[in-house]
């Protein structure tokens, strides 16, 4: 197989996602990134590029927001899927992919409100063996919205009581998504909790309590390594 070429589509408002994702990728891997915040920031001819793997990042945006790049993003996700390119979505990116391929009914504000902290998820349907993890593991969470319906043919890989769809895979459509954020390790994740302490407090969380915790396994290596192994 030819060399893997990765594209990171960074939807983060503060442009931090690219750096957080890149550090989990092999240094000799060919990686490109684009910060997406306007219609013009999404190139019209991007679909013509020969990327093998595309990562749709997380964001401080809500999937329920009206954004200027939405139409281009949806079109790109659909055409990329039709080309047989592997796509990974993280939180907002995960929601964006499902909204593009299923429709607006696939996403909603979580009725349980904000999910934040190093929260446990349960791995199901053989995911323990697929990722080499235990049945229950702690991962970094920070989201108000969630996916309620996956593209046809998808298989649920992880779940928890707050948001049922925490991770999934779709072999036929070459999709992989996580509601949680594998790009954040303990230091980077806890730094965000400190910065968001007032928001967390308003939603019933204590930032000081959250930062005493951390992931229960090497989340970034596991999930980005798995995504890059898809071929």
pLDDT by residue (tens digit) across 117-148? 999 999 999 999 999 999 999 999 999 999 99
Total count of domains within the chain: 1
* pLDDT one-digit tens code per residue, 34-84: 999 999 999 999 999 999 999 999 999 999 999 999 999 999 999 999 999
Query: Residue 2 pLDDT > 70, yes or no?
Result: no
What does the pLDDT look like over 91-101, one tens digit per residue?
999 999 999 99
Given a cut of 50, whether residue 25 has pLDDT beyond it is yes
97: helix, strand or coil: helix
21: Cα separation from own chain's centroid: 10
**For residue 26, what pLDDT is reported?**
96
1 pLDDT band (50/70/90 cuts)? very low
> Which residues are designated catalytic?
91, 181, 183
- β-strand partners of 167: 158, 178
* 180-221: pLDDT as tens digits: 999 999 999 999 999 999 999 999 999 999 999 999 999 999
Q: Provide the H-helix boundaries in the chain.
A: 17-22, 70-83, 92-102, 127-131, 186-195, 197-202, 207-210, 219-229
Average pLDDT over residues 155-164: 98
Number of alpha carbons in the 13 Å side-chain half-sphere of residue 185: 12
Please provide residue 202's backbone torsions phi and psi, each rounded to the nearest 5 degrees: -65, -20
Is the distance from CB of 179 to CB of 166 less than 8 angstroms? Answer: yes
Beta bridge partners of 141: 117
- Dist. CA 84–CA 168, nearest whole Å: 17
Query: Domain of 36?
Result: 5-229
227 pLDDT higher than 90: yes
Burial 68-81 (b: 16+ CB within 10 A, else e): ebbebbeebbeebb
**CATH assignment at residue 204:** 3.40.50.880
């Amino acid at each position: 197989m030819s060399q893997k070429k990765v594209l990171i589509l960074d939807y983060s408002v503060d442009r931090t996602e690219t750096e957080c994702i890149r550090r989990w990728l092999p240094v000799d891997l060919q990686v490109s990134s684009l910060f997406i915040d306007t219609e013009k920031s999404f190139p019209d001819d991007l679909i013509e590029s020969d990327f093998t793997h595309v990562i749709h990042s997380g964001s401080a945006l809500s999937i329920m927001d009206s954004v200027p790049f939405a139409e281009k993003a949806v079109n790109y996700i659909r055409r990329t899927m039709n080309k047989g390119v592997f796509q990974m979505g993280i939180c907002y990116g995960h929601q964006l992919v499902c909204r593009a391929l299923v429709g607006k009914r696939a996403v909603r504000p979580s009725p349980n409100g904000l999910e934040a902290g190093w929260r446990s998820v349960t791995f199901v349907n053989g995911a323990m063996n697929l990722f080499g993890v235990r049945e229950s593991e702690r991962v970094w969470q920070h989201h108000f919205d969630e996916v309620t319906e996956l593209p046809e043919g998808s298989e649920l890989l992880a779940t928890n009581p707050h948001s049922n769809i925490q991770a999934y895979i779709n072999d036929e459509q070459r999709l992989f998504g996580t509601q949680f954020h594998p790009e954040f390790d303990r230091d980077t994740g806890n730094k965000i909790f400190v910065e968001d302490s007032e928001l967390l407090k308003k939603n019933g969380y204590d930032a000081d309590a959250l930062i005493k915790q951390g992931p229960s396994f090497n989340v970034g290596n596991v999930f980005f390594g798995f995504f890059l192994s898809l071929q």
